Each structure stands twice: as structure tokens, then as C-alpha cells.
Amino acid sequence: MWSSADGRTGSAFSSGHSATEDRPRSGRSTRIGLTVALVLLSLSLWGCPIRWQRVSINDVVNPEDVAFIVPGQTTFRTIVEKLGAPDEILDSPVGPVARYRFRDLKYFRVNFGYAWKFFVPPGVPDDMVLAGGGVGTDEFLVVLDADWVVQRHAFAHHVEASQYRAWPFDPAAPSSSEDPLDDPGRAY
Amino acid sequence: MKREGAWKQTMARLSGGLLLCTLLVGCAFVRGNYGDEFNIADVAAIQKGVSTRTDVTGRLGAPDRIVEVNGHEVYQYYRYDLKSGTILFFSRTNVKSDDLYVMFDSNGVVNDVVFGRRTDGLSFQFWPFGD
């Protein structure tokens, strides 16, 4: 199919420019080959056997972004002017709490059975998938007093939980010799 | 000769179109949102020390959440906007929120208004690595 289009496609590509009429045949073939390779590559990628996916919710708040906050002095109004409105305002026994959150989800998936679909009839399962990921949340908490002045603030970092994981299984278990229960000299 | 040139040109366009189509297969751009967009005029119309609960709900509707903070009632309104891009193996979805807090005093009159608009900076991306 592709070889039949080869000659015509190549000559058609060079028809717009008079200079290209004189182009060596090897250069034309290279371009045709590249075009065909690109088409074949993109056709072979239909269905995407590999996938990296990421979902981000809202913006990261970095320590340098909150360097201006001075407990006992900075007001909630000033924080809102610099950081925007929080994601949540809660009540607590010590006063209002403003929470800024950044959520990050990472997910990786690979289907090793992808090529199998070209050899088996429709309807026959052809998936062999390994996939894994995680969701992490970074949070910036501001505790305010009754006058909406900052009492204290802190970060909670959990965004490391967000990772692309190609191997979904647990790491290998320790060998039996490392198990204290196997120690014959130990009394229970 | 002229006819041959036209034929070549047609084939070139066809080949280019085919290549473009096959390269674009596997791409997706998705847009979604949760909640109505805030009308800035409605937000600006809420006046501290003047507007009441009735005025606020009349303009903005019922709040998404009502929180009791520091002895005061706080109405929270929010909306989310989503932009997602996928190209071959790579997919990235960005979600951002707009939040509006209206704080009332003990008489039910607006004490403060806090509005944050993050969705203006929302963009389509497909590269899932980095920040």
C-alpha cells in the first residue's frame, strides 16, 4: 500500500518548487521514507500502549511565597492579597484556620500485550497491563486569632506520594534468615 | 505536462492531509467546569457593612458551603475549571478553582468579602513532567 504511493507522493511533494525538480532522487526518497515512517509510527501508536498521566489541582505555595508572613502582625487580608483566597476556611478552638492546598496525581500505565492484538481475532483479550501512581497533597495552613491576625503557619508536604510507578508490586520480602522469628536460640 | 503538475499537487495535499490525520490521532483536548462563572459585577455589588444575607443570596444564590468561623457565619462559593491535553503517550490535566468567601457579623450584615480567581491562569498542557 505504501510502496504504491511512494513514487507519486515523492514527485508531488517536489512539484511546487522549480528547484526541487532538480533535487537528486536519493533526497526525494529520503523524504518519502521519512513521511511513510512517520505515518507508520503514528498508526502503530494508536491506542497508546504507554501512558503518563498527570492531574494538578491549584497552585503550589512555596516557602518563599510566604516569607512575608510575621506571626502576630500579618493579617488575613494581607495573605489574601498575596496568595489569593484559600481553598478552605475552618473554625478551630484557637481561631480560624485558612488552608491552601495543591494536589498532584501521577499515573503511569504500560500495556505489554498491545502488539498481541495484531495477531489474535477480535474479542480475544490482549491486555497485559502494569500501572501505578499516587496522589499527593501539599498544604499550607494559617492559624489566625479572633482579629484575623496570623498566630502561626505551617506546611504539610505529602506531594512525594505522587509518583509514576511502572512496577505495581511490593519490593521483595526480606529473606527468611533475616526474620527474627526464625532465630532458633531465641526464647519466647 | 500541466495536468501532471496538478496531479502531483493533489497527491501532495492528500499525503500531507493523511500524515496530519495520523499524527493527530491519539490527541485529545478536553475542557470542563463545575459551577457557574462568577459575575464580577455581582461580587463588586456586595458592600461591607451594608449588604445583608438576603442581598448576597439574591445576587449569588445559595452558597456552596456555610461555615461558622470565629463566631461569624461565612458563605463560601466556589467553581472549578479544567483543561486537559493528551498527545500520544502524554497527558496532563490542570484544575483550578475560584473561591468567594462572604463573612457576616452577628447581625447578618457583610463583614468582609474575599475573592480569589485562579482560573485566569489555567492553561492547556500535555507534558506531564516538571512543575
Task: Write the pLDDT tens digit of every residue in B24-42.
Answer: 667 889 999 999 899 999 9
- Residue given cell 467553581 in the structure block: B79
Which residues, in sequence order, are bridge partners of residue B76? B65, B101
Residue A1 has pLDDT above 70, yes or no: no
CB-based contact (8 Å) between B126 and chain A?
A: no
Please report the ipTM that was assigned to this predicted complex.
0.78
- Residues 8-47 of chain B whose Cβ lies under 8 A from any Cβ of chain A: 8-12, 15, 18-19, 22-23, 25-26
> Which amino acid belongs to residue A36?
V
Mean pLDDT of B38-54: 94
CB contact under 8 A, B96 and A59: yes
CB-based contact (8 Å) between B131 and chain A?
A: yes
**Smallest CA–CA separation between B18 and chain A, in Å?**
8
Q: Which residues contact A49 (CB under 8 A, 6 or more apart)?
A: A110, A111, A112, A114, A115
**Smallest CA–CA separation between A146 and chain B, in Å?**
6
- On chain A, the residues whose CB falls within 8 A of the CB of B23 are 38, 42
Q: Could you tell me if A96 and A79 are in contact, meaning their C-beta atoms sit under 8 angstroms apart?
A: no
- On chain B, the residues whose CB falls within 8 A of the CB of A35 are 15, 19
Give the pLDDT confidence score for residue A41 in this predicted structure. 64
DSSP E strands: which ranges in B3-122? 27-34, 65-69, 72-87, 90-104, 110-117
CB contact under 8 A, B12 and A80: no
> Which amino acid belongs to residue A186?
R
Give the pLDDT confidence score for residue A88 in this predicted structure. 92
Residue A3 has pLDDT above 50, yes or no: no
- On chain A, the residues whose CB falls within 8 A of the CB of B95 are 55-58
Assign residue B71 a region (left: φ > 0; alpha: ψ between -120 and 50; beta: otherwise): left
- Residue given cell 532458633 in the structure block: A184
Give the pLDDT confidence score for residue A149 in this predicted structure. 95
**B64 or B7: which leads in pLDDT:** B64
Rounded Cα distance, A140 and A159, in Å: 12
C-alpha cell at A2: 505504501
CB contact under 8 A, B93 and A55: yes
Mean pLDDT (chain B, rounded): 89
Question: Which tens digits make up the pLDDT trace of A83-101?
Answer: 989 999 999 998 999 999 9
**Smallest CA–CA separation between B90 and chain A, in Å?**
5
- From residue B30, how far is each of A95, B89, B116, B129 by CA, in Å? 41, 16, 24, 19
Q: Could you tell me if B113 and B48 are in contact, meaning their C-beta atoms sit under 8 angstroms apart?
A: yes
**Smallest CA–CA separation between B89 and chain A, in Å?**
4
Q: Which helix (H) or strand (E) holds B14?
A: helix B2-24
CB contact under 8 A, A56 and B93: yes
- On chain A, the residues whose CB falls within 8 A of the CB of B117 are 84
How would residue A188 be classed by pLDDT, with cut points 50, 70 and 90? very low
**B31 or A183: which leads in pLDDT:** B31
Q: Which residues contact A39 (CB under 8 A, 6 or more apart)?
A: A2, B18, B19, B22
Question: Which tens digits make up the pLDDT trace of A30-70?
Answer: 777 776 776 666 655 555 688 999 999 998 888 899 999 99
Rounded Cα distance, A61 and A63, in Å: 7
- On chain B, the residues whose CB falls within 8 A of the CB of A59 are 96, 118, 121
Give the pLDDT confidence score for residue A16 in this predicted structure. 38
Q: Could you tell me if B82 and B118 are in contact, meaning their C-beta atoms sit under 8 angstroms apart?
A: no
Closest CA to A134 of A180, A111, A166: A166
**A116 or A37: which leads in pLDDT:** A116
Give the pLDDT confidence score for residue A4 in this predicted structure. 36
Share of chain A above pLDDT 70, in %: 69
Closest CA to A144 of A90, A102, A100: A90
Give the pLDDT confidence score for residue A45 in this predicted structure. 57
Counting one residue from chain A and one from chain B, the pairs whose CB atoms sit within 8 A come to 122
Mean pLDDT of B82-100: 93
- A128 burial (CB, 10 Å; 0-12 / 13-18 / 19+) is exposed
- On chain B, the residues whose CB falls within 8 A of the CB of A144 are 70
